[in-house]
Amino acid sequence: MEQPGGSETRGLTGGEVLERTSTGRVNRVPFAVSRTIWQIVRANVLTLFNGIVAGSFLLLFLLDQWRDALFGLSAVGNSVIGIVQEYRAKRSLDQLAILHAAKTNVLRDGSKQKIPAECLVPDDLVVLSAGDQVTADLELTDGSYLEVDESFLTGESQPVEKGPGGQLLSGTLILGGSGLARVVKVGRDTFAYRLASEARRFSLVTSEIRKGLERVFTVVTWLLLPTALLLINAQVHHQGGWAETQETGQWTVATVAAVAGVLAMIPLGLLLLTSVAFAVGGLRLARRKVLVQELAAVEVLARVDVLCLDKTGTLSSGSIAFDALHDAGAEPAEGWKAALEWFGANAGSSSTAASIGAAFPVEDPLPEVSCIPFAAAQKWSSVTFGHLSGAAGTWILGAPNALLDGASHADGEAHRRAAALASTGLRTLVLAHAPGAPASTAPGEAKLPGQMKPALLLTFHEKLRKEAPDTVDYFRRQGVTVKIISGDDPRTVAVLAGKVRVGAGSAYDARDLPADPVLLEEAMQHHDVFGSVTPSQKQYMIQAMKRCGHTVAMIGDGVNDILALKEADLGIAMDSASPATKAVARLVLLDGRFDRLPAIVAEGRRAIGNVERVSMVFLSKTMYATLIALATAVMLLPFPFLPRQLSVIDGLTIGLPAFFLALQPSGRRYESGFLRRSLSFAVPSGLCVATSVVAVNVYAYSGGHNTAAVQTASSFTLSLLAAWILVTASRPLNVPKTAILAGMYGGLALLFTVSPATEFFRLSPPPPSLLAAAVLAAITGSLAIELVRYCQRGTGRPGR
């Protein structure tokens, strides 16, 4: 193994870093925050349906039927729009990710420096503390003990303890402890890179909408070939049979009709609009200083019905200020000030300890014999000084409920005073002293020393974010249940919760939470404010709410929130969060503004509400196109449309309007059952349209009308019915939607009246009797569609 350069205490020199960097041994890897340009192009171009469209386009072009190949332009337009929108979102997300990329503390030339993670080189000495994310493969040095989360690599959610010589793999998170570690492997040599874990930062979350659409696309794909064969057979039969069509060349007419029927079945723009909705949602959130680490998280935003908040750093500003020292009921042991100075000088990532350091500054704290770092599960840390130090013994700083058991008079009095202070809303800690040392300082084995007595009580104050009450009220009005889950004393949490009008003035003490999953679910349903919650309890509480059928979002900024953020349907990290906390979150509030949340939720609802709206239109089109194709094939009737006619009708009644509708505001909270709701409208509406169009065809051919007249009448009927489906799905109407619909009807009027359009699309005026039949069929079909929508409202489905 390569011998480390530098010193175990000074780190590498500048020359040693330069030598390693010049040879390319740096921690730089292809780290995909978003999809690459090639992945974006491939996702928008190289699809099965695009392949069918391209093949159909080429076939018609070779048959000199280029006028009926206009659908190719629509497909190209769809792909270009999708690529442009996703690329814009990619650029924005990548720039935000670079600005807020993880940084690492290292020792170089004897001083502590913060550098970008990609600048690490082999043998660097990395300074680790709770909240850090490991960005290279490391080896712990002597005297270092850490509690790490390796679930990104192993899938095991339980924290793992690491001692001197222990290996830390890139991608792991530091949950507790502190220490030094030497860089062993960087870049492409790391274990995480070999597992391709760098791709985890971007993925299209498996969402209900995408899964539902994939199921529809699978069914449509299986129907395409048999439908095409039936259509070809029907068209050939109408032209006089296979032999005659071969002799007369009329087989090209049959081919064109079959192509028209197959293409009409494909919901070509639906997947595009879903991708665009996600991409535009991510772009709009990025402009609001929100980093979306997974684009499809906007779907989860739309259907959140429970919002869990940590107290510190979320409802409060996150800055902890030392308030005062208080008598614990007995004379404190000598050396208490030196102990507080040591805790303040060794703050690590603890804002509470840092505030002690600001109140009790010291340049050279007493050297310790041993120390136990703070762990969220145990809620205390300790330091042991030698007998000649003037502060001999062990000093323990921690939560009152962790250090005071009330067994002795001193404990009971200190506990009573701590409770009184906590009830005023002040954060309260206990400084206790024991003459001896803990039995063990090893991770997981640390126990409180015997003969421990409370010495002092310390209080701290936090400032409530001024926007917190209004933001919490917004969620309450939106039907989202807000729950406050904090590790602080329940009395302190209850006071702050009361300021934002959550809970009934009291908080549930998490030490009394039942272990039984069913009882835990009941507790979560009946209480909204919880105190003294451990990190693992936060995780179990999120799981309980999810088992109850809730979609849960969790907002936090501390290391103790990591497990809960990972478990929640949507994890949101504040800007003040540790790198490890940000790494597991789906969204990061880069400016830490709590009042961004209503706009974030509104953006999610806009995106997904509109995806559901346009999906109803597209699936209706797929349904009526499939039914018309099958009905005419079975009845051996000519397919009633040319490809060019379907292309322009789809563009005017679905394609262009749906694109603009997908970007309109929408405030309705998304609920599960997307595919069921969409199909409950699309299937009967498609049936109404297909029945009306087929009825016009049966009437026309029974009356001896020619093919051109039938195609015009069918196109007129389909245009009015497809337009009415769009009107129905667009409700409730507003000014922008009305303008979009007016533009659609204006385009249809020009299509059927302006001579260049009528000539190109072969839409000659039909005889009055056939036109009257088309109008009657359109009116009847529109009334039937209205009845379908009315029934949906009556059963509580969308549109109510």
Catalytic residues: 310
Three-state SS at 267: coil
Return left, alpha or beta for 4; rule: phi > 0 is left, psi -120 to 50 is alpha, else beta: beta
Q: How many CA atoms lie within 13 A of 490 on its CB side?
A: 19
For residue 681, CA distances in Å to 144, 614, 677, 788 come to 63, 12, 7, 7
Torsion sign across C-alpha atoms 575, 579, 580, 584: positive
Which of 215, 170, 212, 206 is CA-nearest to residue 188? Answer: 170
Whether the CB-CB separation of 625 and 654 falls below 8 Å is answered with no
208: helix, coil or strand? Answer: helix
Q: Determine the 3-state secondary structure of 146 from DSSP.
A: strand
Q: What residues contact residue 783 under an 8 Å CB cut-off, 6+ apart?
A: none
Q: What is the spatial order of strands in the sheet that 380-385 belongs to?
A: 321-327, 453-461, 427-434, 393-398, 380-385, 370-375
Q: Is 659 helix (H, G, I), strand (E, B) or coil?
A: helix
What three-state secondary structure class fits 441? coil
What angle, 0 to 180 degrees and rounded to 10, lies between the N-to-C axes of helices 251-265 and 643-650? 20
- Terminal CA-to-CA distance of the chain, rounded, Å? 69
Residue 193 CB partners (closer than 8 Å, separation 6+): 29, 170, 187
Q: With CA atoms as reference, report the closest residue to 659 among 620, 617, 624, 622.
A: 617
Stated as kind and residue range, the H or E segment containing 485 is: strand 481-485
Residue of 25, 32, 24 whose CA lies nearest to 196: 32
- Could you tell me if 322 and 570 are in contact, meaning their C-beta atoms sit under 8 angstroms apart? no
570-574 and 552-556 strand pairing: parallel
